[in-house]
Structure 1
Amino acid sequence: MLKQRKDGGFLGQPTWLWSLGALLVGLALSVLAAALHHDALSRADRVRLDRLAERSFDSVESQLQTCGLLVRSVQALFLSSDEVTPAEFEAIYANLRPREQFPSLQAMAFSLRTDRPAPDAAPDGREHYITTLAAPRAGNDMLFGLDIATQPANLAAARFARDADRPVMSAPFQLVQRAGMPGPSDGVTIRLPVFSSGPPPRDLNERRRREVGSLAASFRVSRLISDALPAETRERFSVEVLDVTDGARHLLFVDDEDGQEPAPEAAAAATYTHELAFGGRTWRIEAHPRAVADPSAWLPALTFGIGVLASLLLATLAWSIAGTRARALALAGDMAAQFRQSEERFRALNELLPALVMLARADDNVLVYANQACRDRFGIADDLAGVRLADLIEEPTLRARVASLAGSPDGIINESARLHGPNQASFWATLSVSSITLGELPHLLAVANDITELRVLSEELSYQASHDSLTSLYNRREFERRIDAAIAALDAGGPAWALLYMDLDQFKLINDTSGHYAGDQLLAQLATLLAGLLPEEAVVGRLGGDEFAILLENSDETRAMALAERIRLEIDGYVFGWEQRNYTISASIGVVMMKGPGLSQRTLLAHADTACYMAKERGRNRVHLFSEDDSATAQRRSEMEWAGRIRQALSDGRFLLHFQELAPLWHGERTEGVHVEMLVRLRDESGALVPPGAFIPAAERFGLMPQLDRWVVQTTLANFNRLHPSGKAIKLCAINLSGPTFEDNAFADFVLEALEAHGVSPQRICFEITETAAVSNMARAVEFMQRLRAAGCKFSLDDFGSGMASFGYLKNLPVDFIKIDGSFIRHIETDPVSYSIVRAVTDIGHQLGLQVIGEWVADERARDLLRGLSVDYAQGFAIHRPEAALCFRDPPKA
């Protein structure tokens, strides 16, 4: 207890001295806190400036890259057309609406390369580029006839773009359109060459020889940079942009019009600089921080003021304590009583907590306190009976860490651990142990929460996510992840791996004769059989159906083939019994060796599937090692076999028709009929449905498509009123035609005779031909289409964009519909380029008076995006899944 003198002082010192000392200490701490607060705010502001400068540099660079893409998009018009008219040039400009994104854009122009400087001037033996096209025309009339050879910076950019065949930016120069106008007249152009039609030039000489002109976009460079910079950048920085390509410093842009001085903190800091390389030019961007008012600058003063107030209160408290002994003793007594009451309340509350709370001595780890939940969970007596905290922990390493925690510099442990009491089962818990001091003695405070149920549930979910529920083997997703890990090990220089791909032979027979449950039982038994055959390091998974795959680490061809042969023999000798039936089982196994870096999961699985297919092709129940020649061999053999099978299927009448509906996006549901597309399918010898991708390539390769197309047309027209199962009338029926079919001179007469014979209106028939087929023989395609259009038939250009994708062809092809290739629709939600292509095709199609169809619509989001782009029809699984035509359905059972 403190000793009090008769004069009111303590420990021999006057009362006022204690109060003054407390005040001085408080003021010193207040000054320190204010200084630290100010330093923290300054550092935070510097970090914000660093990030803002970096974002500003990225914005300017992104703006230039987008300008290059703009010129590249217009270049596509020239690449797809032998001659671009002024109307077409202005149409593509109007469609792109570039000034919405680039207010700094002055003009888009095309300059024709010639040896004459002007129409009325004599040749001088030099290259000249005479501007013949420009958009917008308003404000750019003086560009027409301009020879860019008179502008050295512009001419240099044109030549550089031609030789490099990539976007090139000119040095800054005066734009002729800005002559005599207020404001800066600085300008740059971004150029791309335009070559004559044909394959891309292979070298520099061919590019120079085939160049027909130069395409350019001219920009006001100061406005271009100003638009790219974020508004916050203009507020916080004075920005200068210089062209330093040739070593000199040509000023392009400066933003210091408000005349603010640099911030005092930023005056000593280095200017933010960034060199940006684009189109053969190098720009240097310099950002100087401005002096701006910091809204948080008053906070350190507030901190100091609070400290001063606290110091005064502390001095007052010291005066009060030192001056009144009786009051202090009374207050101490009251506080002691309140503390005892608080401790009693704390103990009562702690006893009721569901968490496990323990207190142990640090020297011997013996518990001195455990709440009721802890005693019940561990089965500990109320007197604790010398129980040690570390003994409750199951894992030896963690137990040792807890035992030595009092001397550890960390002083705290947070872990998930298994705990157990004397003669009690262990359980999972989150354990927090910290070192504390009570009564000048070190103790350990531990708090635990039982998470056994949560842990078990987490492990079950993890297992279900990576294992096949039927066989308990790895599922396809987990097995593919293991393949990726093996590829990563190979890329790091690890040993070779082997991939075994196994498919059961005639597994469908068991499902068809004994049911799918029997097939599932067979797969489960085979999974157990495989587990006993494979070495410990092997990874086995079920990829789906009756397909299994095995990964074998550190394996050569001999070991892999020996294991595959052993598996084949074990399965070959296995007899599966089910409901008084016995089945002999066999398997075809493909083996792929994984050697060296650069492999891909998709390629490995494709090779393994090919090897397994080759094993089946060679008689089943065998092992085949993949080699590079297997893919071509399998394809040729498969196509040769399919040619004979297609002829036999036509003879046996095993072809059938499916249909898929198209939905209008803007006109609502049509009550007068439906719009469908007919799809050909094939049933194999066993009655299984064969997708078109399996036999169409062979039919095209061996010249069978005209015969197959005739069957489709004849069958569709003969059953025209028995196609849709709902009985709805067919408003428009689309039929696909291959290229060789419409090249047949007799096919148009065949169609017209079939239409008349079956009484089908030609206006209800639409023939679909692919873009590639139509362009490959344009004259024959136009003749064929005009012949049938004269009778009333309609035509659709299918897969538009998958081949040459030229808008110029649409003017020459007499079509009614454009069907955008599904590869663009599939990525319309995630790929901005696909979205822009769909929008451009739709806009140009509508300008030509055509209706636009989007195929491969897989979800409602894609459907909504197409509707927003004014696409007329949608086709895909989100609209309707293909189903058999009514005339090819089995009659209902009585």
Structure 2
Amino acid sequence: MHDQRKDGGFLGQPAWLWSFTALVVGLLLSGLAATFHAEALEKGRQQRLERLAERSFEAVEAQLQTCALLVRSVQALFLSSDEVTAGEFEAMYANLRPREQFPSLQAMAYAERSDRAAPDVEPDGREHYLTTLVAPLSGNQMLVGLDIATQPANLAAARFARDADRPVMSAPFQLIQRAGMPGPNDGVTIRLPVFSAGAPPADLAERRSREIGSLAASFRVSRLIADALPAESRESFAIRVFDVTGGGRLPLFGEGQEADAVTSPGPLHSRDIAFGGRTWRIEAQPLATVDPAGWVPALTFGIGVLASLLLALLAWSIAGTRARALALAGEMAAQFRESEERFRALNELLPALVMLARAGDARLVYANQACRDRFGIEGDVTGVRLGELVEDPALRQRVEGLAGSPDAIISETALLRGANEVPFWSTLSVSTIRLGDVPHLLAVANDITELRVLSEELSYQASHDSLTSLYNRREFERRLDAAIASLDDGGPDWALLYMDLDQFKLINDTSGHYAGDQLLAQLATLLSGMLPADAVVARLGGDEFAILLRDTDEARAVAVAESLRTEIDGYVFGWEQRNYTISTSIGVVMLHGPGLSQRTVLAHADTACYMAKERGRNRVHLFSEQDSETTQRRSEMEWAGRIRQALSDGRFLLHFQELAPLWDGDRADGVHMEMLVRLRDESGQLVPPGAFIPAAERFGLMPQLDRWVVETALANFSRLHPSGKPVKLCAINLSGPTFEDAAFADFVLEALERHGVSPQRICFEITETAAVSSMARAVEFMQRLRAAGCKFSLDDFGSGMASFGYLKNLPVDFIKIDGSFIRNIETDPVSYSIVRAVTDIGHQLGLQVVGEWVADERARDLLRGLSVDYAQGFAIHKPEAALCFRDKPAA
């Protein structure tokens, strides 16, 4: 023993050996701890970068979706207006102020579909889209008149959008308006089709035939992507974006790859975003940056080295004398206290709320700085119970009772009571730990109030209309489905009220769309204040509103509708020194019993609202399956589908009826005939025009049918009359919507030239009512074709609202006296006088007069005595099939 103490040894070994062994083991353990710490920090960094990359990808995808909503909002202008003028287009652009949200937006443009590259160019059999409307015009003047058929990427997007009827994005292309300007001129367009008026296209063929133009928003793609990316992403990654549609790899954007930028060896983050028929690949390569926490593993290793040295000294001290051991123990205790202070200081800097409480009474023994600030705790924290910070009584009881379950952990979203008793939302985790032999409760919370508020705002925006704060169409349809489901489960009856304002378009046209928006917002407030608290009120779009009433009968539903109608009828809307009176038409549909569908209920509501408008507007109509007008509207809707199918199947055919001159001098010039359209049904039977023409007029199919008649008559002009006699004059009837079509005159002139028919042999018949209802458009249309040599006849003269003053202003060659006067000419002196007056005035204006519905020779003689020029009717000629249709078998 004496020798061992003298040598400083311990258990027979030298003291330096124990000290060296302790130092080596300590250094190894320190190296392992520092390595694990560095790996943990790197893993955390990679996770942060991965989340940041995902947020960047989502931001770009959200930006594209928002761009599509911008184009969809502009498309609504075309859906709500028969013709969008350049002024309306510019006003819409000014009201939307899209560049405040989309600095990358270059232009909004509308291109009209045509078969010509320009109005004065011969058709070449290809599709052309001539740009007619551009906003803003400043800086984009060269787009006016641009044919996007010259830009393959743009043309492909337009066709795809038309065929799919959804937003489509083009491939990247060069923006022509930025040619020669500083900065990149790369661009893309997001397009939506614009269809002609009528029911939504049912299939691809109808979408192609009814497309009238294409709406597009062009963006500088590099600016669009740069604006979407968070600033933190652009500082942390080298970001590249490629268009990889079809396997290609077209560069769209590249940032963070300058000569002095060095990328990190970390993994490449990538995602493919599919939007509008294109696929973008976003690649984010982390940049080599200085990690602010990179020194922490070194600190860990340093502390380990220090601890190893201390351990070595301790071993030396233990192997030495008791005094040295006690001195070293004191020194180490001081070192550990310093380490604890450093740990406490680091914990104080954490943004999370950290609390430590005794398990027995749940009183706090420690709370970090963030916790004290958030809860408003000043001074000693031991007077605060952990449960007192929890708002929910049930959760408070669970937290305080956690000490009885050592292995239990609470982790959930909770409402905590902050400073000044102001609650806030947080994620709260509470678990039991033991410090020495004493059980404690460790609680960690993170404030998520802002995140929860944002989530609630997004949820609200997804289900509510931004203008009126009422439910939007999507949420209303979800509530309607729930009501139908409750009926299937035997629940009480519901009522659906479908409202449509009667004068809304007038306000938009005279005072602008902003005034219309203000009216809708005021009416939304009015509706909410009048209806029961459990009523579901929604704006479906435009000026259409819907209301769901629960547990109601027909009498109460109609009474509520009447009260709404009366209140709105008495409402006066004032705007810029103008006052407008408002009225509404309301359709009421009762929902009772199982088996209903959303589509059927909404169709019934639309029909009921339509009936209310048909009966004079400003009224309430209760839907009934037995209603004759409802049956008629359904029949017309069915006929609309049959007409479209008949046009597709080629089941329309032409008949003709001759007109006889009442003076012998006109007989040698050839046949004067009027073309009549007929339809064969699916079984091959002829359908009278009175069965399908009203439906065609109501659902906007007459322009398409009139085009078929003109094309067929001109293509078979030499095979119309079965006798082979030359046709002196062929009369073709046109509906009002047809001559309002700006492209129809060009279509007629092109068809005349293509089939080699002289315009002097064609006479178009337009009814008096249609001509007067749109006088300016009618005169412009007639003058265009009369300049080429075509003639015009004013049909059914005397049946409508026209006066002889109107007749003087219409460029017609014939007037056809309404048959109701001719039919009674033998027995009614008034009819006789009207026919004579019309004939005399027509001749004074240099017009030829035709009398129709001539049923016998007596009427013919009377017309001849009144100097009428032509007669038409069964006494002259009964309608028969044109020669070109006599050899065609029945469909």
Shared fold, TM over 0.5: no
TM (normalized to structure 1)? Answer: 0.41
TM (normalized to structure 2)? Answer: 0.41
